[in-house]
Amino acid sequence: VPEEYWGIDGIFNTNAKDQITAKLYTIGDKKIDKLEIKNKDQVDKILADLAKSNYKIAEVEEKKTKRLPSPPFTTSTLQQEANTHLGFSAKQTMRLAQQLYEGVELGTKGAIGLITYMRTDAVNLSDKFLTEAKELIGTEFGKKYQLSEPRKYNNKSKNAQEAHEAIRPTEVSHTPQSIEQYLDRNQFRLYDLIWRRATATQMAPAELNATIINIASDKNYTFRANGQTIVFDGFLKLYPDRTKENLLPKVKTGETVSCAELKPEQHFTEPPARYSDATLVKEMEAYGIGRPSTYAPTIATIEDRGYIARDERKKFFPNDIAYIVNDLLVEHFPHVVDYQFTAEMENSLDEIAHGKKEWRKVIGGFWVPFKANLDKKEVEISKKELTEEKSDEVCEKCGSPMIIKIGRFGKFLACSNYPECKHTKSLNPEEAKQQEAVEATNEKCEKCGEPMTLRRGRFGPFLGCSGYPKCKNIKNIEVKMNMKCPKCGEGDICQRRSKRGKPFYGCNRYPDCDFALWEKPTGEYCPKCKQPLVYAAKGVIKCSSKECDFKKEAEGEAPTEPEKTPAEE
């Protein structure tokens, strides 16, 4: 349930004609919490109090801070950073890392493994790498970026495999630019990330100058402005993070300032974000669920089996079947799905490996009660009770009651008289009407010669043989985008769907032509490189080519999506 809250910004002019933007920070001696100002009535009261107030600089605080680089990559941090910065899934990251580890042909040098072992939870680096990194940093960036002594990191994971190093380039001399020609685009992007992260660990800290300015009114209100400048970039030169400079003007304590404007802004609380690959891996690591080698396969398995899917922002959400399976396991197998179960089992297995526990006792302690409970539940639990619900609907074909069932694509209505009656329909009334709509066409079925009919399914309109169920031939209806294929020049760009149901835009001459776009084309071509322009986020039109930086503002809103093309089920 969204909760309303407000913030108030003040824009102040200094005597030197500079501007400072500050947020309302305290009322009296009390610091304002995020949800302190709940409605417009409170805002209006504050603004009325501040009317005709006089303001002065109450305090100026400056301090220099140092920022150290993050440790070199482990499996989990590599998956997190690759997802955050490159948009790679955990599975994709590990596939690319495996390729870099196994080796890439570097011209006359032959096949060379470019990174160390990528399934590791250790953060130590070899002395050889530390020495070579220091030399390269001095040559490429100058002595002020070098460390007098190598920087070493300690493993936080109590079960870290000390025999492994962190993920690093095998040779620091293989700079990303020097080998870019031998890598495909995604291999290069991942290698570049690994090389920069590992090398940056041996660079000097970044030096920042943080400034806080408090502006007080004579009505007992205080506004605060925070600023930050980078004095020395240090490792940020090679591995920049989200540090942003916000330069504040020079002012003195006691100096008077004038208020140019007070800007109240309404906000609403938002629910916790859904998991991405990065945040899910981080959570699994925190709970001790799995090891470096299992994060990616675990996520891939529950996605491939349909328990979870991704939304348009690549965030995970659970499907209907996930709720049923989870509720079943929590109710009947609470010990196994407890967050601590995997971590405890991993610890027990480690103690077996170190000779501290006997494996038969550990495995038997789990298996004997689990098998007894499993045998008991196989008798007690009914599949129908889990996957079927009663409904008020009646089958229009045979008059039997309809029941709500769960299938591959979620919940739907099915006739209870199955298999005598196989009638099904969507739970959504509008979608159900569309599914029942059938229109005759002039097209003949190429398999049996019967007329084809226009039907509507879960993915939109399609042509189906009127001889169904004897003939199950169906054909997709092409939704053309009024654009010729820029690759072959012969086909038309049409909306299509991937195996996972995600819409994309490709040439209708596939497989002869494999041109495809994920973003919707505008029908125009880039004035720079002649590639198709596509609709991007936030009302921007951009070039579809990754090598071209052309962008422009969209005029008005992007047109709505055409009707989705059907996917063969």
User: Is the previous residue joined to 369 through a cis bond, with omega within 30 degrees of 0?
Assistant: no
Residue owning tokens 């004035």: 527
Q: C-alpha dihedral over 330, 373, 299, 302, to 10 degrees?
A: -90
Cα 564 off chain centre by:
24
Q: What are phi and psi of 258, to 5 degrees?
A: -110, 145
Q: Tell me how far CA of residue 300 lies from CA of 52, 93, 309, in angstroms.
A: 61, 12, 10
DSSP notation for 479-497: EEEEEE-TTTSSSEEEEEE
Residues in the chain: 569
DSSP per-residue codes, 139-187: HHH-GGGS-SS--------TT--TTS--B-BS-TTS-HHHHGGGS-HHH
Given 55, 117, 182, 221, the catalytic residue: 117
Determine the Cα–Cα distance for residues 383 and 255; give it in Å rounded to an integer: 76
Which of these, 31, 167, 41, lies nearest to 101 by C-alpha position?
Answer: 167
Are the CB atoms for 214 and 58 separated by under 8 Å? Answer: yes
d(CA 306, CA 500): 10
The DSSP call for residue 84 is I
Distance of CA 568 to the CA centre of its chain: 28
Question: CB–CB of 568/481 below 8 Å?
Answer: no
Element (H, E) at 266: strand 256-268
Known catalytic membership, residue 221: no
Tokens of 254: 């006691």
The residue assigned the tokens 């006691």 is 254
Dist. CA 124–CA 135, nearest whole Å: 19
Tally of CA atoms within 13 A in the half-sphere of 18 that contains its CB: 10
User: Catalytic residues, which ones?
Assistant: 117
